[in-house]
């Protein structure tokens, strides 16, 4: 297990109608001995969930609750949580994950070798241990987006998919253009220097954007396979088509934001195709019934203790 560094680690967790995994995620995070605080940004969760969150905040000094009163989006929620956090290291963690003890310490230890300008992403796995998409990705370009979302990477060997989870797992931390915002650590100094997450993204793609800006500023983006985080996924009551529509809009914003002016006529033709592919995949998943509405969040046990 990685040794605890001297830096304080603050988890920032943003939630809107997360579903049954929520309190398991909170309990696991607070059980990790290296975590100094968990800043929880409540985007208008149901009343019974808020009541349980308030009770937890009253008895657990490391749990800080911020209620925004509305769903302000993931990027803005993360920025609100980061501003309230006291730690030197910010770990952005999805509210449907299970963080094992030692994973955050490993991420902090890996990042410490790179000074104060870095992002370290965990290996994101399904509950059965299979690696999920998104934990390690290449740079988002039109070519990689088309390769991934239109399936051309499976047909044309020279078209590389943005996703890397099918590639051999490295034994130790490696540089990679993009890691997942589901479990992403960065120094506060680097996050603030980058301007935080771009709040023009409501949900999805904001992590890709931040990784790019940190790299372009001379920082490192690193995938740490020895820090493994379980991600349940699809536990939210959010409508799948709405979620994927936010993703499609995020892709459009990203390409328009980072593309030179001369390429924008190409963007006008290409971006709608990528967005249509995203929405078509979502529609197919809905038809198959992969994303059925989850049950209400399981309320927490009476106490969450630090081991």
For the stretch 19-29, pLDDT in tens is 889 999 999 99
What local confidence, expressed as pLDDT, does residue 159 receive?
66
Indicate the domain borders of the chain.
Answer: 9-231, 240-288
CA–CA distance, 44 with 169 (Å, rounded to integer): 38
CB atoms within 10 A of CB 24: 19
Site of tokens 């019934």: 289
pTM for the whole structure: 0.88
Report the pLDDT value the prediction gives residue 135, as an integer from 0 to 100. 95
Bridging pattern class, strands 174-175 and 37-42: unpaired
Residue 22, CB-side half-sphere exposure with 13 Å CA sphere: 28
248 closest CA partner among 211, 276, 281, 268: 276
pLDDT of the residue at 262: 81
Is the pLDDT at 292 greater than 90, yes or no? no
Q: What token pair was written down for 164?
A: 């890397």
**What's the rounded Cα separation, in Å, for the pair 251 and 278?**
10
Segment 208-267, tens digit of pLDDT: 999 999 999 999 999 999 999 999 976 666 677 778 788 888 988 998 899 888 888 877
Residue 82 scores a pLDDT above 90: yes
Mean pLDDT of 24-51: 97
Q: Report pLDDT digits (tens) over 170-198.
A: 999 999 999 999 999 999 999 999 999 99
State the pLDDT at residue 304: 44
pLDDT in tens, 89-130: 999 999 999 999 999 999 999 999 999 999 999 999 999 999
Write the CB contacts of 89 (distance below 8 Å, at least 6 apart in sequence).
7, 8, 9, 10, 108, 111, 185, 186, 187, 188
What pairs with residue 121 in β-bridges?
A: 184, 223
9-231, CATH topology level = Spore Coat Polysaccharide Biosynthesis Protein SpsA; Chain A (3.90.550)
User: Could you report the per-residue pLDDT of 136-181, keeping only the tens digit for each?
Assistant: 999 998 878 777 766 666 666 666 778 889 899 999 999 999 999 9
Looking at the DSSP bridge assignments, the partners of residue 220 are 118
CA distance 21 to 253: 30
């Amino acid at each position: 297990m990685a040794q605890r560094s001297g830096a304080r680690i603050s988890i920032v967790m943003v939630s809107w109608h997360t579903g049954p995994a929520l309190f398991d995620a909170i309990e696991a995070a607070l059980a990790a001995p290296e975590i100094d605080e968990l800043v929880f940004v409540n985007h208008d969760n149901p009343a019974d969930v808020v009541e349980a969150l308030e009770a937890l905040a009253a008895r657990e000094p490391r749990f800080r609750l911020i209620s925004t009163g509305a769903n302000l989006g993931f990027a803005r929620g993360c920025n609100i949580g980061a501003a309230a956090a006291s730690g030197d290291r910010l770990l952005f963690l999805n509210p449907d994950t299970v963080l094992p003890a030692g994973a955050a310490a490993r991420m902090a230890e890996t990042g410490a070798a790179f000074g104060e300008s870095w992002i370290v992403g965990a290996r994101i796995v399904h509950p059965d241990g299979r690696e999920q998409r998104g934990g390690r990705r290449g740079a988002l370009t039109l070519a990689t987006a088309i390769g991934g979302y239109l399936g051309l990477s499976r047909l044309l060997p020279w078209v590389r998919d943005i996703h890397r989870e099918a590639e051999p797992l490295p034994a130790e931390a490696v540089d990679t253009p993009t890691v997942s915002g589901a479990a992403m650590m960065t120094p506060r100094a680097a996050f603030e220097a980058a301007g935080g997450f771009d709040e023009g993204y409501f949900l999805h793609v904001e992590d890709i954007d931040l990784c790019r800006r940190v790299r372009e500023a001379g920082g490192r983006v690193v995938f740490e396979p020895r820090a493994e985080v379980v991600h349940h996924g699809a536990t939210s009551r959010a409508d799948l088509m709405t979620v994927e529509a936010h993703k499609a809009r995020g892709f459009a914003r990203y390409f328009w934001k980072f593309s030179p002016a001369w390429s924008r006529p190409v963007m006008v033709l290409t971006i709608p195709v990528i967005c249509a592919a995203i929405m078509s995949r979502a529609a197919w998943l809905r038809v198959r019934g992969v994303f059925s509405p989850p049950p209400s969040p399981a309320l927490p046990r009476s106490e969450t203790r630090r081991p």
